[in-house]
Amino acid sequence: MGYCARTYGEGFAAWGAGIGLDLNDPGLLPPPMTDRSTYDASAYRGVAFAAKGMGPLRFEIGTAAVETNTAGGTCLTGTTNPSCGDNHGVDIPLTTDWRTYAVPFSRLTQEGFGLRVPFDRTKVVALYFSVSEGQPFDFSIDDVGFFR
């Protein structure tokens, strides 16, 4: 593990902080626009990754149904649709040593602040690693991939 993605900080009060990985974005448009498209992950049973850090980490998968229409999804922004952003995920208790986590799609659930939608592995947009507001954080992610 020579290189990894690492983030750290504190004092985020609005929703927290994190990092994400787009799966199908050529990166042609400048922010806040996107060329994100969906990725069909139906050939896989879940996502595996190595991680270390302090505190709880939330791993989430964004799908078209919960990603906004400006971010490669179908959830309309500026409407009363509450499903935007309520990704399917799981809480991961981190340790200070590197550990590999294998998260089957069947373990993913929404947090519940938005409209309930089924998880659709054929329309994956992004993978997210985040922490809740108000807590200091320092975590590293490496070797992210799908598993069969």
Nearest residue to 6 via CA among 24, 22, 21, 18: 18
Backbone φ/ψ region at 101: left (φ over 0), alpha (ψ -120 to 50), beta: beta
pLDDT by position in tens, the chain (length 148): 579 999 999 988 888 899 999 998 888 877 666 788 899 999 999 999 999 998 789 999 999 999 988 788 888 876 666 678 999 999 999 999 999 999 999 999 999 988 789 999 999 999 999 999 988 999 999 999 999 9
Could you give the dihedral angle defined by the CA atoms of residues 109, 56, 15 and 40, in that order, rounded to the nearest 10 degrees? -40
Q: Domain 7-147: give its CATH architecture.
A: Sandwich (2.60)
Give me the torsion for CA of 53, 55, 60, 66, rounded to 10°.
-130
pTM flag (> 0.85): yes
Q: Are strands 99-104 and 5-9 parallel, antiparallel or unpaired?
A: unpaired
